Structure 1
Amino acid sequence: MPLDETETRSTPAPIQSLSVIVPAYNEQEVLPEFYRRLCEVFAGLDMKCEVIFVNDGSTDRTLEIISGLYRCDARVSLVDLSRNFGKEIALAAGLDHADGDAVIVIDADLQDPPELIPELVSHWRAGYDVVYAQRICRDGESIAKKTTAYLFYRLLQKVCRVRVPEDTGDFRLLSRRAVEAMRQLREQHRFMKGLFAWIGFPQKPVPYRRDPRFAGKSKWNYWNLWNFALEGITSFSCGPLKVATYIGLLTAFGAFGYGFYMMIRTLLFGNPVPGYPSLVVIILFLGGVQLLSIGIIGEYLARMFDESKHRPLYLLKNYLSAPGSMHPNMGARRGQTH
């Protein structure tokens, strides 16, 4: 009996979907150009695309610009946080609202070129769950910033229990199962580069040249970068605590040895002149070591204190799901707190 014509037809493969997460804090100067270049990339992809802008408490016209894009483009969604929670939390909010088969995380400042997205997608289709863009050059940045970034990533390699790829920012693609894994991590102090590495799964680097910032000013000054480095090290390593322990042991042995030396010297030669300068130096040194050790312990205790409160990662002021998004009722399902 011949097969029916409909039975011989192969079932067409479902159209894959892509979600692009863009955290934005006071990015009014770059958003129009970023959106234009991203749309050009979308036009060359054979996927259903959406872009999720996360407004992280901006005080300029960022929210107004994103709202205008939302009204004009059915692929645009807006996640508006109730205040500025920081970029790491904004990324978590974006991941919570992204339901594409593949999810891209990218900054709006155009230092990370959207034109690299098709290459990330191609590696994802080859079977990789995390495809991260690895910087081979950092144009437009000072020598000091390049040097400190280089040293920071190499230090992470030494002290962290998880291998965090060097010279790699947040620009990357995550598969669906990688996104679901990230959603399970609800810690308050978030070092996203470390979390992306911690979840594992097959990962692939894609080298690229990082461009200078298109417009506006970077929100990362050296103080913020210093705190960010502390966050990364304390989130994924107990090394500082061990260092404090080793310094304490070495100091104790040194003090014991010096005391023994002074005792022998006094017995053999006497000590007619009191060693006031030596005493002051020793006291100041021991006090400095103690305060340093207490400070390191305090950093970890402060993180434990914050985690013990079990506060939500962020609060939503508004969520506008794109009319053409993959899950138009997602905002109603998720509610207003996380």
Structure 2
Amino acid sequence: MKKISIVVPAHNEEKNIAALVSELYKLFSNLAYDFECIFVDDGSKDNTLNEIKIQTEIHPEVHYVELARNFGKDQALQAGIQMATGDAVITMDADLQHPPQLITEMVKYWEQDYDVVYTYREKTNAHAKTYQKVSSKLFYKGLNMLSDIQLEDGIADFRLLDKKVVQQLRQLNEYEIFFRGMVKWVGFRQIGIPYNPAERLSGEASYSFFKLFKLAINSIMSFSVKPLYMVTGVGIVFSVGSLLYIPYIIISYLLHINVSGWASIIATIAFFGGLQLFVLGIIGMYLGKLFMQAKQRPSFIIRSANFIKTDYDLVKL
């Protein structure tokens, strides 16, 4: 019997854990697959870890991994995927906005020889706040325009990955990994299915506008050098444009025309000074990513778990 691993990153989700486990057991009671559920506690400040431990004592298929601090959702996904032992891995959120019933359809596509089955929102999330809706649209439009990958608007971390895709993802050694983009980048045979997110069972989304903005910048720079080409183009345009000013200077000098307008000169200097700082800032961000990658620090640190892995085999503690 094939085995499916469910990887669930959890950050302050204490009231959602038991409900999600219950839904998964109902689902897999009607599916001819073994399964395991791996919760990755990403530095929660509430009672999330204890709730997960309670479920591990009740259900032998439930496991937990506790990270040493809050490393981020993508790093938590990376930790869970490293631990998974199934023939396929399904990643999903803990708040039940990703409907577990959709797993049945995802598995059907997997059995039709698709290596990746991902989901995207069919409609705008009616339960999201206004700034979240706007920032989400801007995020995907900006990412698609400036990077070398194309993501559907509203693509989610609710996806199924075949074990051969998981093997490739395990070999990646990126410090700030963006899983949604990386899954697209690795290729294989992929298909997307739409879904309508349910209302969050409990709690609040932890992504602020600043975090979304930071995620957008890191995502673009992880998959493209287009921003560097763009600022180079801007520099060339302004350099060529400045050459057109030379005839005016020569004519003014020959005709002894006193040129006034210190305000316009100062404004021009300030504009070009700001432009140079902007260009240097983009270059600096790329250098910063290279600096962090060169340190070779781990993307996550595990504080505790109810199992350990050796050569991708589970060994019960």
TM-score (norm 1): 0.88
Q: Which residue of 2 aligns with 1:111?
A: 97
Whether the aligned pair in 2 keeps the contact of 1:247 and 1:289 (CA below 8 Å) is no
- CA–CA distance in 2 between the matches of 1:227 and 1:151? 13
Q: What is the correspondence of 1:1-150 to structure 2 with a 5 Å cutoff?
A: 15-137=1-123, 138-150=125-137
How far apart are residue 327 of structure 1 and its match? 4.6
Partner of 1:180: 167
Say whether residues 1:161 and 2:152 are aligned partners: no
User: What letter matches 1:160 in structure 2?
Assistant: S
The aligned length equals: 313
CA shift, 1:269, in A, is 6.8
Identity of aligned residues (%): 37
Does the alignment pair 1:152 with 2:139? yes
CA distance in 2, matches of 1:151, 1:266: 49
**C-alpha separation between the residues in 2 aligned to 1:266 and 1:38?**
81
Preserved CA contact (<8 Å) 1:20 1:50: yes
- SS of 1:201's partner is coil
- Is 1:200 aligned to residue 187 of structure 2? yes
Runs of 4+ that moved beyond 4 A: none
AA at the equivalent of 1:280? I
Q: Distance in 1 between matches of 2:30 and 2:275?
A: 59
Quote the residue 1:9 is aligned against.
none
CA shift for structure 1 position 244: 1.2
**2:262 pairs with 1:276:** yes
Which structure 1 residue ranges, 5 or more long, are not aligned? 1-14, 333-338
Map Cα deviations across residues 97-129 of structure 1 (whole Å, 9 max, x no partner): 001011100011111111111110110001000
Q: Deviations over 1:235-260 (max 9, x none)?
A: 00101111111111122222232343
On the 8 A contact 1:56/1:84 being kept in 2, the answer is yes
SS of equivalent residue, structure 2 residue 244: helix
Quick check: 2:115–2:161 contact (8 Å CA) kept in 1?
yes
- State the 1:167 CA deviation: 2.3
Higher gyration radius (CA): 1
* Secondary structure, counterpart of 1:243 in structure 2: helix
Q: Which moved more, 1:203-212 or 1:137-146?
A: 137-146
Relative to the length of structure 2, the TM-score reads: 0.94
| 1:190 maps to 2:169 | no
**Post-superposition shift, 1:165?**
3.6
- 1:217 maps to 204
Q: Give the Cα separation in 1 of the matches to 2:108 and 2:4.
A: 12
Deviations 1:61-107 (A, max 9, x none): 00110011111100101111111111111110000000101110001
Matched residue type, 1:148 = S
Structure 2: unaligned runs, 5 residues or longer: none
- For residues 47 and 118 of structure 1, the distance between their equivalents in structure 2, rounded to whole angstroms, comes to 11
SS at match of 2:122: strand
Q: d(CA) in 2 for partners of 1:266 and 1:37?
A: 82
Structure 2: how far apart are the matches of 1:110 and 1:257?
A: 61
Question: Does 1:293 find its partner at 2:265?
Answer: no
